[in-house]
């Protein structure tokens, strides 16, 4: 899930530190747990492994969770994320739909499935799910759905509406990097280069650079006539991401 993105995992309080592998979790006497509790524990570990991009072991834990509680919508949602990561869209869609069927009011699942559908150009259904996620009174992170609706609007070639949703996302969370990145790109494409630079600086204050952000940074500074800053971003891009397509493009760019 570039974005960052971007937005794709359910949140759990895990029984391990953020810096330690879940494989190091001690035995808490799982023999005394119910099947549902064991399923939840394996779900938590599976989600953590997904976050670490350790997909093989994530699948192992999620399969165990599913075998113990196949009706749990959070397990279905996590498996959908896994299959999406594996680029198995058919399986991912099936699990997202099963999760929605089990918990029709779950705003997190609606956000994930809505984004998934929008990215595959099922824009009407995707936007409907995202709007339902946004409208849920239980949704404490509305900037996720707002940004995803913005991305849906971009796919509909409606940059004006997209910009409005990204700005609303920043009102809800001023440090949300995905929205900052998209507003940087929109500002650049509108030739509002000072605005693009401002969004870029806000992005770099809260997130690590990506090939795309460095490419736009380079282009923005060139457009503003700041050749030294443009060259600095060019060097960062080539040094940090030498095999990226953006690095290949920037090598042929001539600063004047």
Q: Decide if pLDDT at 5 tops 50.
A: no
Domain boundary among 73, 104, 135: 104
Specify the pLDDT at position 26: 35
Query: Is residue 254 included in any domain, yes or no?
Result: no
Residue 42 buriedness (CB in 10 A; 0-12 / 13-18 / 19+)? buried
24 within 8 A of 16, measured Cβ to Cβ: yes
Question: Do 76 and 94 belong together in one domain?
Answer: yes
The span from the CA of 140 to the CA of 5, in Å, is 18
Q: Each residue of 126-137: b (16+ CB within 10 Å) or e?
A: bbebbebbbebe
Q: Largest Cα–Cα distance of the chain, in whole Å?
A: 71
The whole model's pTM is what? 0.83
Question: Do 94 and 40 belong together in one domain?
Answer: yes
Query: Is residue 88 included in any domain, yes or no?
Result: yes
Query: Is residue 13 included in any domain, yes or no?
Result: no
Question: Do 51 and 74 belong together in one domain?
Answer: yes
Question: Do 90 and 149 belong together in one domain?
Answer: no
The CATH number that applies at residue 132 is 1.25.40
Residue corresponding to tokens 């605005």: 195
- Residues 60-117 pLDDT 10s: 999 999 999 999 999 999 999 999 999 999 999 999 999 999 999 999 999 999 999 9
* Residue 17 φ/ψ region, left for φ over 0, alpha for ψ in the -120 to 50 degree band, beta for the rest: beta
Domain of residue 165, residue span: 113-169
Question: Do 85 and 122 belong together in one domain?
Answer: no
Domain boundary among 131, 154, 169: 169
Question: Do 100 and 145 belong together in one domain?
Answer: no
Query: Is residue 45 included in any domain, yes or no?
Result: yes
Share of the chain above pLDDT 70, in %: 86
Q: What share of the chain is helix, strand, coil (3-state, %, to 5)?
A: 70, 0, 30
The span from the CA of 10 to the CA of 62, in Å, is 13
Helix, strand or coil for residue 139?
coil
Number of domains in the chain: 2
Q: What angle do CA 157, 112, 43 make, to 5 degrees?
A: 160
* Mean pLDDT value across residues 12-21: 34
Q: What is the mean pLDDT of the chain?
A: 88
Share of the chain above pLDDT 90, in %: 83
Q: What six digits make up the tokens of 42? A: 């394996």
The CATH number that applies at residue 68 is 1.25.40.10
Residue corresponding to tokens 């971003």: 233
- Residues 128-184 pLDDT 10s: 999 999 999 999 999 999 999 999 999 999 999 999 999 999 999 999 999 999 999
Return the DSSP state at 208.
Answer: -
CA atoms within a 13 Å half-sphere pointing along the CA-CB vector of 4:
19
Residue 253: band (very low, low, confident or very high) from pLDDT cuts 50, 70, 90: confident
CA atoms within a 13 Å half-sphere pointing along the CA-CB vector of 89:
8
Question: Do 155 and 132 belong together in one domain?
Answer: yes
Specify the pLDDT at position 254: 58
Query: Is residue 151 included in any domain, yes or no?
Result: yes
Domain boundary among 76, 104, 132: 104
Residue 252: band (very low, low, confident or very high) from pLDDT cuts 50, 70, 90: confident
Find the range with the poorest average confidence among 6-20, 40-54, 127-141, 219-233.
6-20
More confident residue, 1 or 40: 40
Torsion from C-alpha of 53, 93, 178, 59, nearest 10 degrees: -10
Q: Each residue of 9-35: b (16+ CB within 10 Å) or e?
A: ebebebeeeeeeebeebeeeeeeeeee
Question: Do 52 and 98 belong together in one domain?
Answer: yes
Question: Do 90 and 51 belong together in one domain?
Answer: yes
Question: Do 62 and 118 belong together in one domain?
Answer: no
75 within 8 A of 62, measured Cβ to Cβ: yes
């Amino acid at each position: 899930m570039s974005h960052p993105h971007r937005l794709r995992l359910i949140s759990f309080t895990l029984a391990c530190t953020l810096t330690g592998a879940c494989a190091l979790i001690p035995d808490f006497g799982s023999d005394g747990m119910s099947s549902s509790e064991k399923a939840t524990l394996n779900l938590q570990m599976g989600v953590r492994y997904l976050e670490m991009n350790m997909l093989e072991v994530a699948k192992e834990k999620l399969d165990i969770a599913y075998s113990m509680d196949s009706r749990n919508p959070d397990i279905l949602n996590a498996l959908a994320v896994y299959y999406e990561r594996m680029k198995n869209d058919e399986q991912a869609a099936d699990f997202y739909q099963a999760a929605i069927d089990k918990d029709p009011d779950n705003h997190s699942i609606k956000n994930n499935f809505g984004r998934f559908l929008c990215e595959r150009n099922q824009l009407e259904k995707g936007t409907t799910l995202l709007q339902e996620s946004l409208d849920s009174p239980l949704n404490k992170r509305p900037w996720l759905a707002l940004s995803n609706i913005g991305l849906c609007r971009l796919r509909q070639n409606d940059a004006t509406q997209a910009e409005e949703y990204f700005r609303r996302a920043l009102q809800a969370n001023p440090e949300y990097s995905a929205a900052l990145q998209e507003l940087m790109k929109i500002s650049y494409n509108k030739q509002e280069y000072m605005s693009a630079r401002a969004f870029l600086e806000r992005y770099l204050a809260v997130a690590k650079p990506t090939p795309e952000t460095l490419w736009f940074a380079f282009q923005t500074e060139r457009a503003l006539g700041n050749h030294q800053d443009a060259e600095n971003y060019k060097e960062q891009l080539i040094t940090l991401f030498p095999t990226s397509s953006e690095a290949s493009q920037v090598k042929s760019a001539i600063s004047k």
